[in-house]
Chain A
């Protein structure tokens, strides 16, 4: 069974700073998703990473995937307040339709 560990679980950072959220998973995965959830809202798809070494960027967020290390990172550059949300990674186990979600990282950007 695929297990997913995200860290940190909680992160407070000042505006303008950089930080990285880590997503480790336990078995072979053929794709990995990152989602964002605002308080009281649903999940919004951010990225899908399909292969080893994949890197995707959207604004101040950049996601990467290392399938050999079974690690994905979500890097935040020069954080701004509206990035405050909970971020989830969700790898899909190879050969399985099911996504397994991490516990989420609750990010708070402090002005």
Chain B
């Protein structure tokens, strides 16, 4: 139990669908992150939030839209995705932005 939970764990969606990934941390951390893990590629940072403010946006396509309503919750809204967006999406949190990150179990996304 890492204290970081993600739902759903698996998601299959069509290219015209809209869906959202949810991340919740029960650790009292101030920073939260979205990463993308594709086969044969290094883990890619997508977004960083610190105290609910976005501090990093790594040139991510606009079809991915993050939302951080409070320091415990982070969402990734998905719309009109492409098959190449199929990947494992990992959420992480850390006490503050400089500290060790704790990862959730991930959402495995398949875009058809």
Contacts and interface: CB of A to CB of B under 8 A. Distances in A.
A60 B98 CA distance: 27
Determine chain B's interface SS by DSSP, over half rule: loop
By size class, the interface of chain A is 20 to 34
Contact of A43 (B41, B48, B103): B103
Nearest to B97: A97
B102 A45 contact: yes
Contact of A44 (B42, B45, B50, B103): B103
A43 B43 CA distance: 11
B23 to A, nearest CB: 12
A87 interface: no
Given A42-B2, A44-B2, A97-B55, 5 more contacts: A4-B42, A31-B98, A43-B103, A45-B101, A88-B43
15 contacts: A4-B42, A33-B100, A42-B90, A42-B106, A43-B103, A44-B2, A44-B103, A45-B102, A88-B43, A90-B43, A92-B98, A98-B48, A99-B45, A101-B42, A103-B42
Interface of A: 4, 31, 33, 35, 41-45, 48, 88, 90, 92, 97-104
